[in-house]
Amino acid sequence: MQALLIALLWAGLGPAEAAEGRAPAGAEANERRPFQSALLATEGLDAEALDAALRLRLPELELHRSWDLEREGDAVAKPYVFIHLAPAGEGAGLSLELITDEGQAYVRALDDEGPRERIAASFVVSILSAIELREVQADRVEVQAPQRAEAETISEAVDAAKGAEPEPEPEPEPEAEEPEREEREPEEPKSEPKDPEPAPSGWEIGPWISAGVLLSIPPPDYSQPLAGWGGEPGVLARGPRGLLVGTSVRIHSRVINPNAITRTRVAAHLGWAWRSRAFELPVAGSLGAEAWGARVDGQRVTAADLGAQSTLLGLRVWAAPGWFRGFDEGPLAGVRVGGRAEFGVALAPGVGVVGLADAEGDPFVRVGGPEFGVGLDVCLYLRPRANQRKP
């Protein structure tokens, strides 16, 4: 077997170099350039067995089965060599192609009688040693190693190493001229071109609901921090570039028997929703009008009884980051589940903040002023029928 490997390696030397026992012209004798990395691509071989055989013979050589020299070139130590092993095609044997980082290509064929992986590893070690010592002449130069471990780029590099030229495209055959007919066939009426279907708008619209607590900040002297708790159903629409519009109705209440207050707010929202794979972050501002009513010691109290307005006007800013799951087909475009935080100010025209006290004069709640809310948020995004993709 050793005699066979020496004979095959000797066949790769140029005639002048083989006769005189020297390196090719232009190369300095015994100038070794050891390879640090090898890019491996094999077909018809046991990859694990071949890698183990190479590591046994060349323990310092880094082996890469996956690489991207354009994006992660620093991950491959230089100098490197690309090694491709595959069945030779017709008949027995293996085909070996090597391309160095300097653009030198070597093509060899070897017999595979016996354990193919060990034979291939021994032959690769022998020819790499000869290339490092510049004792073998390249079959071709200026051949680029494949930049990525992809079948197409590897095939192109192997063809370039072998000197294969792309097959020219066949020239179109001339169309045979039809003999002239005395009687012309009636022309078929041309069908009018159909109007192209309108491109989907990409809008998504659906129900939205949140629930949480509302806190007065800073806690006033006549109120505890908790201003109320409740829910806010609504509808949100998201544009193809993330524009967010919507409307909602929020109902909050605060009960300290026998006293209670209920607040109902109608709001319009405008903002933007950033989305990335499994995450969505909608951020919006809202303008709302809020009606309120109270019971003190079980008796209904109106705003007029307190010399205040029964409607609050407010501005709020909110964000609802959460997990997002999108769907490519059907009416459901996506689902978002997450938290919600908001900050805003609500004031009664002409009065500002309204404080409520019980029959004994002890304060129990505040209406309006700066407030902060936290809670949970769920939204379903639906596609309009014209924008649905059929499965």
- The model's confidence at residue 310, banded by pLDDT at 50, 70 and 90, is confident
* Beta carbons of 341 and 292 less than 8 angstroms apart: no
Mean pLDDT of 383-390: 70
The angle formed by the CA atoms of residues 43, 159 and 58, to the nearest 5 degrees, is 50
- pLDDT tens per residue across span 165-215: 545 555 666 665 655 655 666 666 565 555 544 444 589 998 999 999 998
Q: What crossing angle do the helices spanning 47-57 and 116-132 adopt, rounded to 10°?
A: 40
Buried b (16+ CB within 10 A) or exposed e, 90-126: eeeebbbbbbbbeebbbbbebbbeeebbbbbbbbbbb
More confident residue, 79 or 178: 79
| Distances 224 to 45, 228, 264, 298 between C-alpha atoms, Å | 76, 10, 20, 20
- The model's confidence at residue 17, banded by pLDDT at 50, 70 and 90, is very low
Going from the N-terminus, what domains does the chain have, and what CATH number goes with each? 2-162 (no CATH), 204-387 (2.40.160.20)
Q: Return contacts of 262-268, CB within 8 angstroms, 24+ apart.
A: 262/292, 262/293, 262/294, 263/228, 263/290, 263/291, 263/292, 263/312, 263/367, 264/290, 264/291, 264/292, 265/289, 265/290, 265/291, 265/312, 265/314, 265/346, 266/290, 267/316
Q: What is the pLDDT of residue 22?
A: 36
Query: Is pLDDT of 33 > 80?
Result: no
- pLDDT tens per residue across span 268-302: 999 999 998 899 999 999 999 998 888 887 778 77
Q: What is the pLDDT of residue 208?
A: 94
**Preceding amide of 168 cis, omega within 30:** no
- The model's confidence at residue 234, banded by pLDDT at 50, 70 and 90, is very high
Nearest to 105 by CA among 97, 94, 117, 113: 97
Nearest to 272 by CA among 307, 319, 323, 313: 319
- pLDDT tens per residue across span 318-362: 999 999 999 888 899 999 999 999 999 988 887 777 777 776 777
Question: What are the φ/ψ torsions at residue 390 (nearest 5 degrees)?
Answer: -75, 140
Percent of the chain with pLDDT over 90: 24
Query: Is pLDDT of 44 > 90?
Result: no
Q: Which residue shows structure tokens 């570039």?
A: 241
| Separation of alpha carbons 82 and 158, rounded Å | 10
With the CA atoms of 155, 159, 165 and 167 taken in that order, what torsion angle do they form, in degrees rounded to the nearest 10? -40
Q: What's the pTM?
A: 0.48
Q: What is the pLDDT of residue 169?
A: 53
> What H or E segment, with its residue span, contains residue 132?
helix 116-132
Q: Is 52 exposed, middle or buried (0-12, 13-18, 19+ CB in 10 A)?
A: middle
- pLDDT tens per residue across span 249-258: 999 998 877 8
Q: What is the pLDDT of residue 1?
A: 46
